[in-house]
Structure 1
Amino acid sequence: MIALTVVLHFIVLHSVDGHEVSINPRAVSSLHAAKPDQPNKLFTEDVNCVVGLSDGKFVTVAERCASVRQKLEEQGK
């Protein structure tokens, strides 16, 4: 009998309403920061980073992109 263990590591971020969002670091393809000198036309003012995923979807989070990048680096992405 062969035992197989699969371990998934997720980073926990927060949506603008405070809910936790778990993201697989391997699925992250891009980070787009809100520009402080331009009004946010597509999202609410509380969105600080848009996390692009490999399946073409995206997640808007309250954390700044620098914080998201740090969490990704801690997970080895």
Structure 2
Amino acid sequence: ELLYLFDGKKFAFGNYFENLTISKVNERYFLKTLIGGEKYSIDKHGFKGVVVKAMTYHMMSIEKIDNLWKLQYVVDI
């Protein structure tokens, strides 16, 4: 969904994440949050030269450490 918002809707994410929760149901993880941002503008946000095409399950891990969540994944670029 996040890739779709950026690539399809040209939505640039800010540093605003509210009420972020991660839950596990039947070996599947779900992330829910309210995200702040604005319409992407190359003049304002720039371009780093790398575009993420997809997330993969290869080497993915999700674990809770104390009161924080650690997510590790590989991306296709």
Normalising by structure 2, we get a TM-score of 0.23
Normalising by structure 1, we get a TM-score of 0.23
Larger strand proportion of the pair: 2
Larger RCO: 1 or 2 (CA < 8 Å, sep 6+)? 1
